[in-house]
Chains A and B, each alone.
Chain A
Amino acid sequence: MNNTSISRRSVIPPWLLQGVTISYILLIVLFAIAAMINPHYASWDNIRNLLQIGAFIGVIAVGQTLVIITGQIDLSVPWNLTFSAILMATLISHGTSTPVAIAAALASGTLVGMFNSIGTAIFRIHSLVWTLGVNAVMQGATLVYTHAQPPKVDLPPIVRALGAGDLWGIPVPLFVWILAAIFALILLHCTRFGRYLYAIGNNESVLFLSGTDSRKIYLGAFAISGFCAALAGIMLTGYSSQPYLGMGSDYLLIPVAAVIIGGTNIMGGSGGYIGSISGALIVVLLQSVLSTIQIQEAGKDIVFGTIIILLLLLYGRQKLSSH
């Protein structure tokens, strides 16, 4: 057992085997292949487009990364996002000022996130089940709130800009993403809260015994995830210029996939946002390639699911626990 690991270490440096490194290599390889198939992929127009769409996934992935590092998962993103977006649009259509409407949407998302942590941290229900349940509740709440008809509204310029704007030739969503990424990296690597996130993911009991209330850490992680979902909802509303009921349906698996592809362990305790960035870009690139070679929606789902499993087989495997 020891011999094999030593000999392997001498052949391949250990940093190369880390998920983060592999995911960046993968991103470069994928991009090279895509550009070889179609040179248009390497054009600035296309890269710009990819970064813009990647920003929506990247922003959601901030919260998702924090939550997954604690060993939990947030599956309430799709309808939390939709509800926040629709709440904002409805408030605007009723004449509320834009900053208040945006703040209300963000607050709603954050509250849902906090509700997620109640079930997970206090009632100790597996977050997978609980957040999926909260997702169903938010779906119901959205239908009650809109009577299945989202408002038609003239969006104020700031909301449009957040989703589709352009600043010095660079899409505004990309700026939002960069800000969110800086926030995530500082939070994870320079604060006590960030260290606690990793500590929970590794061993919650030990963290608890060393005198930290782990419930507060969960509260923070899920609240940030809810906030990010709402922010992405606002950006997506600006991007598609109207909120609609199915707007969140793409964001159940995809941000989780981005985080996992980026090398964060689904069981928690290791990983980080650097990897999630490349994960988000890989996912967007894959989607874009699949849609240019004109595969139907159903075929896309099949290929996408298969690719995620293959990537996981590549570097998401758990060690054999043979002690």
Chain B
Amino acid sequence: MIIERYYSSLTAMIGLILLVILFVYIQPLILSPFGVTMSANQGTTLALAALAQLVVVLTGGVDLSVGAMVGLTNAIAATYMGSDPAISIAVLIGTLAAGTLAGFLNGMVVAYGRIQPIIVTLATLYIYTGIGLVIRPQPGGFVPNWFANALTGSWGYLPYALVFLLVLVLLAWVPLMRSRLGRAINAVGDNRNGARVSGISVARTELWAYTAGGFFAACAGIFLTAQTTSGDATIGTSYTLNSVAAVVFGGAMLSGGRGVALGPICAAYFLSLLISVLFASGVSPFYQNLLQGGVLVIVLAAANAWRLRTRHWLNVMSN
């Protein structure tokens, strides 16, 4: 059944729906076009970052440099865009290319250097943040209004942010996952040796998965540029952890091979909406980091709790 593939996303979907109901209960004004657009804008960067993380997690790896790539592309876009539309578009394409290249480099080192993805992406996290800081030592930059409006505006109740996300999913994610490469990505994450003996080049698959991750991280960076209308190389820091959390909460397994885009996207909106809900319920700003971190840890523990039901502890271990 096609629906069975989406069971893993159920927790995140239900969580998101319950949170929205709670939010509307606390702050009914959120149901205005403005409120809906604002909420959508807040979550879209994380949703895109979660896609970037998901494609890598599906191969059984992890990409800790997602946040750094978001910050780097944000810095590039906000620094070079200027007000001339032609140049802006060229810069946007360049930004996408830069993010994709960053992901490609991650992939080269992981796949052909045969080094653990954790430590590789932890090192490239520093490299990409460093490059971002060279390009933009202080937060700032210039972002043209038309560009910001094109991504963060709304048409009645329909935020352009959701359209942007949907277009990316339909034109990039779905074709990618339905292609031979997409199948190979899932196969490698599910069973590396199985994939190898059935003729899939594991290294090449990993390389392109990380490259795709870089592309989606660049999309997140571009959306973030429109949302904040400024550039900041270090702004991406929180997206690394949150993207992993969104992927896990969204039902994908960190060991690879299992996961669909729907869950992590819902989880991303859940996690970002949570901050707004905390704001709306009047929690002191000092508590926000703590609550956000606490919820994240609880979400991670809860998402994994089902494993503890197994009768044999050994099953848990070998996973």
A residues apposed to B, CB below 8 Å: 73, 119, 122-126, 128-130, 132-134, 136-141, 143-144, 147-148, 204-205, 208-209, 214, 253, 256-257, 260, 266-267, 296-302, 304-306, 308-309, 312-313, 316-323
Contact = CB atoms under 8 A, between A and B. Distances in A.
B20 interface: no
9 contacts: A126-B254, A140-B290, A208-B314, A208-B317, A266-B119, A301-B129, A302-B134, A306-B127, A312-B115
Interface SS, A side: helix
Contacts of B292: 136, 140
Nearest to A214: B317
B258 to A, nearest CB: 14
Contact of B137 (A136, A141, A208, A298): A298
Nearest to A126: B254
Given A123-B307, A124-B304, A309-B124, 11 more contacts: A119-B300, A133-B293, A134-B293, A143-B289, A147-B286, A299-B134, A302-B127, A304-B126, A305-B124, A309-B109, A320-B114
Contacts of B301: 119, 123, 125
A256 B122 contact: yes
B64, B118, B193, B290 interface centre (most CB from chain A within 10 Å): B290
A313 B129 contact: no
B48 interface: no
Interface in B66-111: 109
Contacts of B129: 298, 301
B145 interface: no
Nearest to A141: B290
B114 A139 contact: no
Nearest to A213: B313
A145 to B, nearest CB: 9
A23 B113 CA distance: 19
Given A256-B122, A301-B133, A123 B305 contact: yes
Interface of B: 62, 64, 109, 113-116, 118-120, 122-127, 129-134, 137, 192-193, 196, 240-241, 244-245, 248, 254, 286-294, 296-297, 300-301, 304-305, 307-308, 313-314, 316-319
Contacts of B122: 253, 256
B172 to A, nearest CB: 26
A148 B113 CA distance: 42
Nearest to B137: A298
A7 B313 CA distance: 44
B228 to A, nearest CB: 20
B288 A140 contact: yes
